[in-house]
Amino acid sequence: MKTIAVYPGSFDPPTFGHLDIIERSSRVFSRVIVSVAKNLTKDTMFTPMERVTMLRKLIRPFPNVEVDSFRGLLVEYVRIVDAHVVVRGLRAISDFEYEFQMAHMNKKLSPDVDTVFMMTGERYSYISSQIAKEIARFGGKIDDLVPPLVRDSMVRKLGGKR
């Protein structure tokens, strides 16, 4: 049985923690769609297309993973791509409450969609996109937080500050 999973997020920017979840999801599911959410309420560093482009380069080692984007309700998007699983990464207990609430709401809206939680690897548990952006804005070293492609894109966005 082929199982299609959607790993949604803002991915602004993609981090090593995101890649950890992508790699591990690619081993569990037949097909994984990493989908950039076009969230109008977030102040982002990168446009949705820039994030999609970065992610497409980063997922090349995983032949069963693809990148897309969506706007609107996640469960509607999941239905459109014929998936039945949503993958969510958890870094810490503090992530669980929000993700638990969202999983239940998604289940209410679309009973045939299940949410699978994956704990981010211990070595990435402290990484978040927000932290990476904040450190980069102050010229700090982010090599352990994001892949070189992302780091270089962040440096360019910040006008060459490193």
Query: Rounded to an integer, what distance in angstroms lies between the CA atom of residue 18 and that of residue 147?
Result: 11
CB burial of residue 135 (10 Å; 0-12, 13-18, 19+): middle
- Active-site pick, 42, 71, 123, 156: 42
- The verdict on whether 18 is a catalytic residue reads yes
Task: Yes or no: say if 11 and 38 are a contact pair by the CB < 8 Å rule.
Answer: no
What does DSSP assign to residue 121? P
- Active-site pick, 129, 133, 151, 153: 129
- The verdict on whether 91 is a catalytic residue reads yes
Q: For residue 13, is the peptide bond before it cis, meaning its omega torsion is within 30 degrees of 0?
A: yes
- The verdict on whether 10 is a catalytic residue reads no
- Active-site pick, 79, 84, 91, 157: 91
The gap between the terminal CA atoms of the chain, to the nearest Å, is: 48
Q: How many other CB atoms sit within 10 Å of the CB of residue 134?
A: 12
Task: Yes or no: say if 7 and 117 are a contact pair by the CB < 8 Å rule.
Answer: no
Tell me which residues are annotated as active site: 18, 42, 91, 129
